[in-house]
Amino acid sequence: GLVTMQTAATHGAALAGAVIVDAPVRRPDPESEARSRGTAFKSPGVYPDLETALTRYRLVPPQECENRFLVDHVARHSLHETPQGWTWKFDPGLFAHTMVSMRDQLLAAGCRIALFRGEESVIVPADTAEYMSELLDNAAPVVSIPGARHHLFLDQPLAFVAALRTLLIEWGH
């Protein structure tokens, strides 16, 4: 979701639209914005073998997921082998140089936007989705996937795909 917002802000004119999936733009709070701006994630660990690395995979934020086969699939495709061992395909500095607030990136989107959220998400609760919609002059559809938490496509994959297909058909008109 955050990468999608950055992409829509910087390359939106080249996109037909962007679907932001359970990524929050919260009401302004100068203290928390100052703390989080430019924050990098810690470097990913390196593990001696694939099986050890797989035991370390966690959803963030932590949550249960009934579709363990999907979580396993994501974990296996999130790793790669290096000369030092197995590590995550993740750039810990991804947001280290982001100085533009997520709010400003959302407002700078150069294409149409849709907001998808998990109905049970702790990351994008209903009031956060409402605020994001207000920022976009209530022009962006807000889709809440029932029974889903933050990891929508792991929690409710069929509902997620159905909602996305419906949106794309609507955008095609």
Least confident of 36-45, 51-60, 94-103, 105-114: 36-45
Q: What pLDDT shows up at residue 93?
A: 72
DSSP state of 12: G
Structure tokens given for 169: 């058909």
DSSP state of 148: -
Average pLDDT over residues 81-87: 96
- Residues of the chain by 3-state class (helix, strand, coil), percent to 5: 40, 15, 45
Q: What pLDDT shows up at residue 34?
A: 54
pTM of the model: 0.86
Q: What sign for the dihedral angle of Cα 151, 156, 157, 161?
A: negative
CA angle 88, 70, 65 (to 5 degrees): 100
Q: Where are the domains of the chain?
A: 2-23+94-171, 46-88
Q: What pLDDT shows up at residue 30?
A: 62
CA dihedral 70, 74, 18, 129 (to 10 degrees): 70
Cα(122)–Cα(163) distance, integer angstroms: 20
Superfamily of domain 2-23+94-171 in the CATH hierarchy = Alpha/Beta hydrolase fold, catalytic domain (3.40.50.1820)
pLDDT, tens digit (0-9, with 9 covering 90-100), for 21-46: 999 999 887 665 555 555 556 778 89
Cα(129)–Cα(38) distance, integer angstroms: 23
Q: What pLDDT shows up at residue 43?
A: 77
